[in-house]
């Protein structure tokens, strides 16, 4: 019998080589992520596969797509995961090196209900993880992750005969053809494709050329799992600034940046200015709501407040629902409400029919952006941006906070804001008009400005975003004079990854 995992094993010991190591903190709200070595070993990944295989059998399934991203250790981790899945009696379809949306596409392409994508996404080297689902196009949420965690940590899996592993060829080619079919450009565009040396570099250039991009400028598309310049994260200021410089140097119409596993897309306009994904989402919502009247859009609580005040969306009969941050949450809500699209500030875009199948795909998002430009032949991306109402939104800032304590810290902040509102208190002279607490707390102020504090779902961090309706200086003040001092009172909160 395969032994139950332990959390106290140390690398370079006999026990570490003989027993599975799985730290409980790796089971996040909607996927799993560990530091490979100190938090999970290969036997621990095998245990995860056994647990996942057992769980999908509980759900009445056994056929599962498996792929892996481009890290020095991802193939080994996938092999260990598949060994566990086969031991649990699953039919495993290995699609090889892939971006996450290619694995989601393969669920449809190969008629497989389940998926397990080995990826650390944009996390730094050393991290690994698995994105999982058993009901296409959805991925696991807290309930499914809770059950999986219970099975794995207690050793409550069941081995079964009949497991099989098949290598499937041709999925990448069919995936590229599928995403390329989302738009056929008639307008000549010069586009920078930035991949940060991550997995998307193997697929994005070919797909963008097949969409009809007239001149494609490849930027860090060579695969290099050391990530020599920066992590492939199009929400990170370093990558965005590099993209902006390439646009200015080449006179490109825009830059499209893809994260480590290709399910997110970041954008820089023709003037070399980064456009946060929620503002791109607002542009797309304007464009799509003109074609599809009375559409519903889902946005996460980190996104601009302009979705609820924009006159163009109102005139097109569009409805916007703010929901929990996290690709699994927005994906699920987009499916549940039959929304035309869902947008997340981190760069996850979800399109239902006719443009997509409901899962997040950086290349489908790129196709939607290019199609929007094609429908506006006399306008540049910067023109579409300037047509939006003005709001000054911060970067996403993340101070370190341990996984064991981050939710408690955020709960304390929520209580403080609830008490402040009940007492009639103000923030920088403005009354609190609303508190959205579906995911941390989004504090809406009387002039339309807001601040957000929530726990990261996949890293030991707290997430902070602020937006001002007044000025960039006021946006900075909301962070420096309100949120930062409030968090600084708590010793569990550490250094920020970046600050305005």
**Shortest CA distance to 255 belongs to which of 213, 309, 298?**
213
CB 472 within 8 A of CB 392: yes
Q: Which of 482, 196, 460 is nearest to 347 (CA)?
A: 196
CA 286, CA 386: separation in Å to the nearest integer?
Answer: 13
Is-catalytic flag, 121? yes
**Bond from prior residue into 354 cis (ω within 30 degrees of 0):** yes
What CA dihedral angle connects 14, 116, 79 and 70, to 10 degrees?
A: -100
Task: State how far the Cα of 48 lies from the Cα of 43, in Å rounded to an integer.
Answer: 9
Could you give the strand order of the β-sheet that contains 274-275, starting from the edge strand earlier in sequence? 215-219, 190-194, 254-258, 265-268, 274-275
Query: DSSP class of residue 461?
Result: B
Ramachandran class of 236: left when φ > 0, alpha when ψ lies in -120 to 50, beta otherwise: beta
Buried b (16+ CB within 10 A) or exposed e, 330-345: bbbbbbebebbbbbbb
Pairing between β-strand 341-343 and β-strand 296-300 as defined by DSSP bridges: parallel
CA of 307: how far to CAs of 30, 279, 313, 392, 432, in Å?
25, 9, 8, 14, 19
* Catalytic entry in 74, 87, 121, 346: 121
What is d(CA 179, CA 395) in angstroms, rounded to the nearest whole number? 29
**Which element (helix H / strand E) includes 39?**
none
Task: Say what the alpha-carbon torsion angle 143, 320, 237, 141 is, to the nearest 10 degrees.
Answer: 10
| Alpha-carbon radius of gyration of the chain | 22
Q: 301 and 454 in contact (C-beta within 8 Å)?
A: yes
CA dist 53 and 427 (Å) reads 50
Active site residues: 121
């Amino acid at each position: 019998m395969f032994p139950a995992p332990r959390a106290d094993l140390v690398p370079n010991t006999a026990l570490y080589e003989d027993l599975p190591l799985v730290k409980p903190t790796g089971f996040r709200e909607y996927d799993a992520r560990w530091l490979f070595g100190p938090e999970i070993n290969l036997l621990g990944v095998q245990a995860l596969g056994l647990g996942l295989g057992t769980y999908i059998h509980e759900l009445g399934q056994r056929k599962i797509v498996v792929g892996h991203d481009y890290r020095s250790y991802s193939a080994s981790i996938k092999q260990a995961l598949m060994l566990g899945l086969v031991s649990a009696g699953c039919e495993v379809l290995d699609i090889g090196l892939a971006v996450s949306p290619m694995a989601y596409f393969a669920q449809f392409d190969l008629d497989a209900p389940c998926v397990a994508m080995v990826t650390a996404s944009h996390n730094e080297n050393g991290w690994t993880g698995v994105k999982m689902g058993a009901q296409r196009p959805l991925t696991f949420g807290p309930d499914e992750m809770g059950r999986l965690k219970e099975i794995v940590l207690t050793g409550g899996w069941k081995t079964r005969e009949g497991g099989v592993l098949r290598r499937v060829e041709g999925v990448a080619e069919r995936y590229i053809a599928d995403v390329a079919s989302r738009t056929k450009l008639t307008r000549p565009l010069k586009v920078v494709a930035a991949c940060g040396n991550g997995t998307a570099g193997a697929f994005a250039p070919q797909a963008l050329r097949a969409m009809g991009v007239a001149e494609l400028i490849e930027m860090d598309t060579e695969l290099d799992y050391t990530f020599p310049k920066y992590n492939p994260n199009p929400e990170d200021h370093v990558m965005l600034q590099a993209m902006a410089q390439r646009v200015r140097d080449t006179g490109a119409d825009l830059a499209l940046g893809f994260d480590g596993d290709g399910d997110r897309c970041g954008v820089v306009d023709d003037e070399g200015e980064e456009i946060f994904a929620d503002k791109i989402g607002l542009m797309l919502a304007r464009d799509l709501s003109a074609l599809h009247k009375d559409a519903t859009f889902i946005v996460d609580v980190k996104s601009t407040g302009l979705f609820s005040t924009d006159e163009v969306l109102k005139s097109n009969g569009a409805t916007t629902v703010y929901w929990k941050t996290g690709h699994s949450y927005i994906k699920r809500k987009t499916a549940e409400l039959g929304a035309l699209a869902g947008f997340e500030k981190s760069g996850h875009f979800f399109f239902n029919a006719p443009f997509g199948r409901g899962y997040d795909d950086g290349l489908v998002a790129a196709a939607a952006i290019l199609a929007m430009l094609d429908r506006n032949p006399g306008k540049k991306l910067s023109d579409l941006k300037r047509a939006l109402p003005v709001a000054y939104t911060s970067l996403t800032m993340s101070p370190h906070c341990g996984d064991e304590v981050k939710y408690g810290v955020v709960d304390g902040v929520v209580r403080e804001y609830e008490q402040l509102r009940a007492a009639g208190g103000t923030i920088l002279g403005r009354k609190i008009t609303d508190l959205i607490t579906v995911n941390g707390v989004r504090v809406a102020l009387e002039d339309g400005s807001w601040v957000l504090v929530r726990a990261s779902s996949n890293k030991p961090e707290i997430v902070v975003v602020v937006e001002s309706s007044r000025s960039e200086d006021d946006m900075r003040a909301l962070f420096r004079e309100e949120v930062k001092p409030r968090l600084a009172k708590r010793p569990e909160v550490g250094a920020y990854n970046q600050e305005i």
